[in-house]
């Protein structure tokens, strides 16, 4: 084989090799980048919460409580299925997500730590957990039922992908308005998208339901994971939150290191190729 043809063949093999590695690495890299953005949104929310004085936080809490009380009187209305809304064509920057962040959802068992958004849009569903319109704010209290939804099976982010791993008695936590709320899973069910009976407010109950699509990549039904409020010491909750953050940080560092190794490998191969 002529040297020129050999060189072209080597270049093609190098391109195919790197393309294959890139395709395999894409889900991990994309998820790591999305996790990084989520943590930036969460950090911004926590910093703003620290800056706000107690009077402002109390006012926000009071407004949410009033809306929840009104909703309880009206019986609640979970509205349309969150996963059937039209996709917005406009690209959103980080400030858009920060503006709509009202809290943080943490699920230790599956290492989920997501911002909670105050409304449901397709863009917000791709970045965190969205409050379903017509359901209670996730601030706790009797006769409240908050419904938080997020995507599953996206190539660029895990979000609620591993939600089916949750079992009865598992815990998840919500940080909102300076409070830490704990919930214990007490019901897991699969329903049709139009079935909303399980999302209704129940008198004197303090409930939160996590919703995502199922079966995986088919999305014909909705998985509902409901939890009821339990009493857990704030320090225990903070410890669980810190473990999740550490796990995410470790994953990000691993992916960053992997990218660095692949780039170094590419440069070494490229230099050797150019020297031939």
Active-site residue (options: 100, 130, 145, 151)? 151
In this structure, are residues 107 and 166 in contact, taking their beta carbons and an 8 Å threshold?
A: yes
DSSP letter (8 states) at residue 24: H
- Tell me how crowded residue 270 is: count the other CB atoms within 10 A of its CB: 13
Question: Is 151 marked active-site?
Answer: yes
Torsion sign over Cα 49, 50, 52, 58: positive
Question: Is 213 marked active-site?
Answer: yes
Q: How far is CA 271 from each of CA 17, 111, 265, 266, 276, rounded to the nearest angstrom?
A: 16, 40, 10, 9, 9
Return the residue matching tokens 């929310």: 45
Active-site residue (options: 44, 213, 221, 228)? 213
Report the Cα 25 to chain-centroid distance in Å: 21
For the annotated catalytic residues, the residue numbers are: 151, 213
């Amino acid at each position: 084989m002529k040297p020129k043809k050999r060189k072209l063949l080597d270049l093609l093999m190098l391109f195919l090799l790197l393309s294959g590695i890139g395709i395999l690495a894409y889900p991990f890299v994309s998820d790591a980048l999305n996790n990084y953005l989520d943590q930036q949104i969460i950090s911004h929310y926590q910093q703003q919460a620290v800056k706000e004085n107690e009077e402002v936080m109390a006012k926000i809490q009071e407004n949410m409580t009033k809306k929840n009380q009104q909703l309880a009187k009206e019986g609640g209305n979970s509205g349309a299925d969150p996963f059937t809304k039209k996709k917005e064509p406009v690209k959103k920057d980080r400030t858009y997500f920060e503006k709509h962040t009202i809290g943080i959802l943490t699920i230790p068992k599956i290492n989920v730590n997501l911002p909670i958004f105050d409304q449901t849009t397709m863009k917000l569903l791709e970045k965190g957990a969205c409050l379903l319109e017509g359901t209670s704010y996730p601030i706790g209290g009797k006769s409240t039922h908050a419904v938080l939804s997020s995507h599953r099976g996206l190539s660029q982010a895990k979000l609620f992908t591993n939600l089916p791993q949750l079992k009865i008695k598992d815990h998840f936590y919500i940080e909102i308005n300076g409070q830490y709320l704990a919930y214990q899973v007490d019901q897991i069910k699969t329903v049709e998208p139009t079935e909303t009976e399980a999302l209704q407010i129940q008198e004197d109950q303090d409930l939160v339901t996590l919703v995502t699509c199922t079966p995986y990549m088919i999305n014909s039904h909705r998985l509902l994971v409901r939890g009821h409020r339990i009493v857990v010491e704030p320090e225990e909750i903070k410890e669980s939150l810190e473990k999740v953050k550490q796990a995410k940080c470790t994953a990000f560092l691993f992916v960053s290191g992997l990218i660095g190794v692949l780039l170094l490998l590419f440069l070494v191969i490229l230099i050797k190729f150019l020297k031939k």
